Amino acid sequence: MTDKKEEELRKIIELPEALKRVGGDPFTVDVEDLLRKINENRLKDRVRSLKYESEALNAVSLVIEKQEQWVLDALKGLKIDPELIREKMREMPLRDLAMLLARHVTPVLGIRRLSAERLRMAMEYLSLTEPWGRKPKLGMVNKAQEEYVQSITFDKKFEEEAMEFYENSLRKELESAGRIPYREFINRFSERLKVAFYIAYLATIGMISVVRNPLTGETLISRPLGGIFESVAIPFE
């Protein structure tokens, strides 16, 4: 009988931790019922009973605290159906989502310094390296390969340029067509290598997906897809 009572009290004691693990609505817990159970399950051994009762009461207070926090968080969500918000976020492009959040951020400021230890390590490293101009040569470069190398210059920060390219040249077409043949798309531009870089970058950050049709071998640019991702080389010449 005592074991059963102890078991009941232990369940109450473990409740806050379980709520923390699972998440969800803490109001599913009936606090009055918990207090009634604590009252009903007093042990014969007074000292043990007091220990269990105090721990159980502490657990109840933690549940109440969790309920208060839940109300505050629900207010932040303006009590709108969570599924509605999830659906909105699912459909929202990453850029729009990022802009919405960034508008509400006031960052903490700080200047990082190099510690004396790291400075010492840097000095040691520098003393071991060869001076400028005395670095070993990379060896012969095949002239035929050089002909394929295009000079790429980026006016702005690469990520910004890639996002701009996405907005101006890719987003609308992807939204209307769904999928665009990779080769055909790249060949529309004079700076094909640069565009290939943009495509690769946009795919790695998940703005688009690049898929290969296993039957035809054709490479396609599409809206972001789920599934398994891998890194592959795509020839475009």
Partner 1 sequence: MSEEEEELKRKALKALRLLLIETSALPGLKGWELKKHLGKDYLNVIKVASVEADRLGMKITIIPDDEAPKDFDRARFVLMTKEPLTESDYSRWLRIEEIASLGLILTEINLRGGSAPLEVVIRTLTEKLPRWRVNQIISKLERLGYIKEENGVLFKDWRSIVEIDETGFMKDIILYRREKG
Binding site for partner 1 (CB under 8 A): 20-26, 66, 69-70, 73-78, 80, 82, 85-86, 88-113, 157, 159-160, 163, 172, 204-207, 224, 226, 228-229
Long-range CB pairs of 85-89 (<8 Å, 24+ gap) are: none
Return the SS3 of 144.
Answer: helix
* Least distance to partner 1, CB of residue 122, Å: 18
Nearer to partner 1, 44 or 90 (CB): 90
* Least distance to partner 1, CB of residue 95, Å: 6
- Using an 8 Å Cβ cutoff, are 191 and 229 in contact? no
Nearer to partner 1, 1 or 102 (CB): 102
At 223, which helix (H) or strand (E)?
none
- Using an 8 Å Cβ cutoff, are 195 and 165 in contact? yes
User: How long a stretch of residues is the chain?
Assistant: 237
* Least distance to partner 1, CB of residue 4, Å: 29
Between CA 68 and CA 223 the distance in angstroms is 41
Q: What are phi and psi of 152, to 5 degrees?
A: -115, 125
* Least distance to partner 1, CB of residue 208, Å: 11
* Least distance to partner 1, CB of residue 217, Å: 22
List the end-to-end C-alpha distance of the chain, in Å, as a whole number.
81
Which value, in Å, is the radius of gyration of the alpha carbons in the chain?
31
* Least distance to partner 1, CB of residue 148, Å: 28
Nearer to partner 1, 203 or 220 (CB): 203
Q: What are phi and psi of 179, to 5 degrees?
A: -135, 145
